[in-house]
Amino acid sequence: MQRRDVLKSLAVVLGGAVSHSCSQAVEVPAAQRVAVAGVMTDEQRAAVYRCADLIIPVTDTPGAIDAGVDEFLDYVISVWYQEDEREVFFAGLAQMLAEAQGAYGQHFIALKESEQVALLQAAQGRELTSNPLDFGESGGGFFKKIKELTVTGYYTSKVGATIERKYVPMPGFYDGDYKFSEVGRLWAK
């Protein structure tokens, strides 16, 4: 999908500009939640971390895992997620891991990068909607969830704020005509 197509409906773009799909999930009392420990197996965790680094890879700046997104994912998936969100997440992950076995006869994390990318693209393809900001009641499927979590964890990390973006905690003044070329990246605040 081209960005300009996506931007066609501004209701879609700006209506969701400040809302986190994560925060729209249906509330479930804490007592009904599963225990925190042992939510992910080592293999699931390794696959989830690998997906994060495929989404935000190392380039001229560090990638997701170097920025500590692994800890962020552990926290959100194990502690912050409600059970319905966790079920959706792991169902989608299981499907992708099963496809890895089916197509290549190996676990996802043992595959070549191009094969992993193809599987993650297939997961993305299953969740394409006409409205990219339609995350549904449980905040989208596995792909939308891992992508949103990786991006959020990355840009709010110290690496994401100070290396990928430019962090200026005390700007001192406001310049409404400042040139993007002077900074070359997003501001963090």
Partner 1 sequence: MGKIDTIDTTQEVDAIVIGSGITGGWAAKELSEKGLKVLMLERGKPLEHGTGYVGEHQPPWERNNKGMRPRELYKDEYEIQSTSYAFDETTRHFWNNDAQNPYDFNEQDPFHWVRADVVGGRSLLWARQSYRWSDLDFEANKKEGIGIDWPIRYKDLAPWYSYVEKFIGVSGQAMGLDHLPDGEFQKPMEMNVVERHVASAIAENFSDRVMTIGRTATLTEPLPGRAACHYCGPCHRGCSTGSYFSSLSSTLPAAKATGNFDLRANALVESLEYDADTKRVSAVRVIDTVTGERSRYSAKLIFLCASTVGSTQILLNSTDADSGRSFANTSDALGRYMMDHTYRAGARGIIPGFEEYYPYGNRPNGIYIPRFRNVDGDDGLGFTRGYGYQGSAGRLSWDTMSKITPGFGADFKAGLRKPGPWYMNLGGFGEILPYAHNTVALHKSKKDRFGIPQVTFHFEFGENEKRHREDVVEQAVAMLKAAGATRIDPFNAEMVGGAAIHEMGTARMGHDPKEAVLNAHNQAHAASNLFVTDGSAMASASCVNPSLTYMALTARAVDYAVTQLQAGAI
Measured CA to CA, the distance from residue 9 to residue 7 in angstroms comes to: 5
154 neighbors 58 (Cβ within 8 angstroms): no
* CA–centroid distance for 62 within its chain: 16
For 82, list phi and psi in degrees, rounded to 5: -85, 165
Pick 17 or 37: Cβ nearer partner 1: 17
Closest to partner 1 by CB, 10 vs 105, is 10
Q: Looking at residues 76 to 95 of the shown chain, list those that interact with partner 1 (rule: CB under 8 A).
A: 76, 80, 82
Residue 29, sorted as left (phi over 0), alpha (psi -120 to 50) or beta, turns out to be beta
Piece in contact with partner 1 (CB under 8 A), picked from 38-46, 89-97, 103-111, 154-162: 154-162
Residues 4 to 43 in contact with partner 1, rule: CB under 8 A: 6-18, 20-23, 25, 27, 29-30
How far apart, in Å, do the first and last CA atoms of the chain sit? 31
CB closer to partner 1, 73 vs 97: 73
Nearer to partner 1, 1 or 37 (CB): 1
Residue 188 binding partner 1, by CB under 8 A: yes
Q: How many residues bind partner 1 (CB under 8 A)?
A: 75
CB of 103 or CB of 187, closer to partner 1: 187
169 binds partner 1 (CB under 8 A): yes
Which one-letter DSSP state was computed for residue 180?
Answer: G
What residues are paired with 167 via a beta bridge? 188
Q: Is position 59 an interface residue for partner 1 (rule: CB under 8 A)?
A: yes
Q: Reduced to 3 states, what is the DSSP secondary structure of residue 86?
A: helix
Nearest approach, Cβ of 158 to partner 1 (angstroms)?
4
